[in-house]
Chain A
């Protein structure tokens, strides 16, 4: 996989996604963390230690994250899905948007897994949740998400490429 990780060429990105079934990607505003969010103390998408409460299933005291196969950070596994979400996200952002990608498997710590969206839609086929597979402390989830971020590769895009 070493030659794969050296891929930075945008025109080959489509081919990479098509060939590598373990490829998972998400659009990230330049300068932002690829897997954690800025702290928000209130609102429906407030965060706990950088994890949005709407992204994972929390215990009632917000100390633990509970396993759920259809909750987690969203990732794209297909070109079609990535292209669609990237276009909308970059349209609404005021800063450039890059694509961060990771290979599911070796780059994902124990206790987490990519699970496909089970909704019966064409967009769901290319959409995966980065789930937790066992009950863990929020701080542990943050550690795992930080580790995953370190394994992610960034492709800096000009926006119109996708």
Chain B
């Protein structure tokens, strides 16, 4: 696995929420990377949407990946997404989208 090797559970979260939101492109992108600024922006926006949904799931005690609270993964998400975007060459896009989120 090229990406998300440090905290692989982040990959599990991304796949879960890509399924939840029917974001088909995310499946390919999390595996092979993002190739354009547009894809990087869309991926970054998806991550923030995922974080919002994680909070919503915690508040409603919705079980995700066997737990009603996966918030301990949040710092790992920041680490892995920053690394992912940097490796794809679009860290500045991630930073801009995060600033605006």
Where the two chains meet, the residues of A that have a C-beta atom closer than 8 Å to any C-beta of B are 26-27, 29, 37, 42-45, 52, 54, 74, 84-85, 87-89, 91-94, 119-124, 127
- The 15 sampled A-B contact pairs (Cβ below 8 Å) are A27-B75, A43-B67, A45-B9, A45-B76, A74-B79, A84-B98, A91-B48, A91-B51, A92-B51, A92-B58, A94-B55, A120-B86, A121-B83, A123-B79, A123-B91
Chain B nearest Cβ from A111, distance in angstroms: 23
Q: Which residues of B are found within 8 Å of A87, using beta-carbon distances? A: 98, 101
Q: Which of A45, A84, A122 contacts B78 (CB 8 A)?
A: A84
Q: Which residues of A are found within 8 Å of B83, using beta-carbon distances? A: 119, 121, 123-124
Interface size of B by CB at 8 A reads 33
Chain B nearest Cβ from A69, distance in angstroms: 14
How far, in whole Å, are A155 and B77 apart by their CA atoms in the complex? Answer: 23
Interface residues of B in 19-65 (CB under 8 A from A): 48, 51-52, 54-55, 58-59, 65
Chain B nearest Cβ from A97, distance in angstroms: 9
Q: Which of B12, B59, B86, B98 contacts A88 (CB 8 A)?
A: B98
Q: Which residues of B are found within 8 Å of A52, using beta-carbon distances? A: 72
Q: Which of A26, A45, A84, A91 contacts B95 (CB 8 A)?
A: A84
How far, in whole Å, are A42 and B71 apart by their CA atoms in the complex? Answer: 16
Give the residue name and chain of the A residue nearest to B52 (CB). A91
Cβ-defined contact, A85 with B78, below 8 A:
yes
Cβ-defined contact, B55 with A88, below 8 A:
no
Q: Which residues of A are found within 8 Å of B6, using beta-carbon distances? A: 54
Cβ-defined contact, A119 with B71, below 8 A:
no
Cβ-defined contact, B59 with A94, below 8 A:
yes
Cβ-defined contact, B7 with A54, below 8 A:
yes
Cβ-defined contact, A93 with B74, below 8 A:
yes
How far, in whole Å, are A52 and B8 apart by their CA atoms in the complex? Answer: 13
Cβ-defined contact, A85 with B71, below 8 A:
no
Q: Which of A54, A74, A93, A121 contacts B71 (CB 8 A)?
A: A93
Cβ-defined contact, B58 with A54, below 8 A:
no
Q: Which residues of A are found within 8 Å of B91, using beta-carbon distances? A: 121-123
Q: Which of B9, B48, B54, B82 contacts A44 (CB 8 A)?
A: B9
- Given A121-B83, A121-B86, A45:B59 Cβ within 8 A: no
Q: Which residues of A are found within 8 Å of B76, using beta-carbon distances? A: 45, 54
Cβ-defined contact, B75 with A127, below 8 A:
no
Cβ-defined contact, A45 with B86, below 8 A:
no
